[in-house]
Amino acid sequence: MSHHIIQATDLHYAYPDGTVGLNGVSFRITHGESVALVGANGAGKSTLLLHLNGYLSATHGEVRIGDHPVTAKNLKTVRRSVGMVFQDPDDQLFMPTVFDDVAFGPLNLGLPETEVEHKVIQALETVGVSHLKKRPPYKLSGGEKRAVAIATVLAMSPDILAMDEPTSSLDPMSRRRLIDLLKTFQHTNIIATHDLDMALDLCERTLVLHQGRIAADGPTLTLFQDENLLTRSHLEKPLKIQGCPLCGPKRKKTRPAPIRKPITANG
Amino acid sequence: MAKIDKQFFDIGYMDTLATGDSPLHRLDPRAKLITTLVFIVAVVSFDKYALSALIPFFIYPVVQISTGGLPAGYLLKKVLLVSPFAVLIGIFNPLMDREILFYMGTISISGGWVSFLSILLRFILTVAAALVLIALTGFNAVCMALAKLGVPNPFVVQLMFLYRYLFVLTDEATRMVRAWSLRSLSSRPMGFRTFGSLAGHLLLRTLDRAQRIHLAMCCRGFDGRIRIIRSMEIGYKEAGYVVGWSALFILLRYYNIPMKLGTLVKGFF
Choose from B208, B219, B225, B232 for mutation: most chain A CBs within 10 A: B219
**Domain range annotation of chain B:** 1-150+231-257, 152-226
CA–CA dist B8, B166 (Å, integer): 9
* pLDDT per position as a tens digit, A53-110: 888 888 889 999 888 888 888 888 888 888 889 888 888 888 888 998 899 889 888 8
Q: Taking the CA of residue A8 as centre, how many other CA atoms within 13 Å lie in the half-sphere pointing to its CB?
A: 26
Residues A38-77 as b or e (16 or more Cβ within 10 Å = b)? bbbeebbbbbbbbbbbbbbebeebebbbbeeebeeebbee
Helix axes A113-126, A98-108, angle to 10 degrees: 130
Kindly give, in sequence order, each residue whose CB lies less than 8 Å from that of residue A116, ignoring residues fewer than 6 positions away: A103, A106, A107, B229
Kindly give, in sequence order, each residue whose CB lies less than 8 Å from that of residue A258, ignoring residues fewer than 6 positions away: none
CA–CA dist B240, B237 (Å, integer): 5
Q: What is the mean pLDDT of residues B38-52?
A: 88
Helix (H, G, I), strand (E, B) or coil at B93: helix
* pLDDT per position as a tens digit, B120-171: 999 999 999 999 998 888 888 888 888 888 888 888 888 888 888 887 888 8
pTM of the model: 0.75
The answer to whether residue B1 scores a pLDDT higher than 60 is no
Judged by CB atoms closer than 8 Å, whether chains meet at B216 and A153 is answered as no
Residues B145-175 as b or e (16 or more Cβ within 10 Å = b)? bbbbeeeeeeebeebbbebbbebbbbebbee
Nearest CA-CA distance, residue B263 and chain A, Å:
52
**Cβ distance A33 to A222 under 8 Å?**
no
Helix (H, G, I), strand (E, B) or coil at B104: strand
On whether any CB of chain A is under 8 Å from the CB of B140, the answer is yes
Torsion sign (Cα): B186, B192, B198, B202: positive
Helix (H, G, I), strand (E, B) or coil at A175: helix
ipTM metric: 0.76
Task: Tell me which chain A residue has its CA closest to the CA of residue B231.
Answer: A113
* Residue among B160, B163, B220 minimizing CB distance to A105: B220
Kindly give, in sequence order, each residue whose CB lies less than 8 Å from that of residue B178, ignoring residues fewer than 6 positions away: B1
Q: Which helix (H) or strand (E) holds B235?
A: none
Q: Taking the CA of residue A158 as centre, how many other CA atoms within 13 Å lie in the half-sphere pointing to its CB?
A: 32
Distance of alpha carbon B38 from its chain centroid, rounded? 15
CA–CA dist B263, B269 (Å, integer): 10
Residues B38-58 as b or e (16 or more Cβ within 10 Å = b)? bbbebbeebeeebeebbebbe
CA–CA dist A35, B7 (Å, integer): 45
Mean pLDDT, all residues of chain A: 87
Judged by CB atoms closer than 8 Å, whether chains meet at B218 and A79 is answered as yes
Kindly give, in sequence order, each residue whose CB lies less than 8 Å from that of residue A196, ignoring residues fewer than 6 positions away: A36, A38, A224, A235, A236, A237, A238
A2-241: which CATH architecture?
3-Layer(aba) Sandwich (3.40)
Report the largest interatomic distance among the alpha carbons of chain A, rounded to a whole angstrom: 77
Q: Which segment of A244-248, B1-5, B82-86 scores lowest on mean pLDDT?
A: B1-5
CA–CA dist A24, A49 (Å, integer): 15
On whether any CB of chain B is under 8 Å from the CB of A115, the answer is no
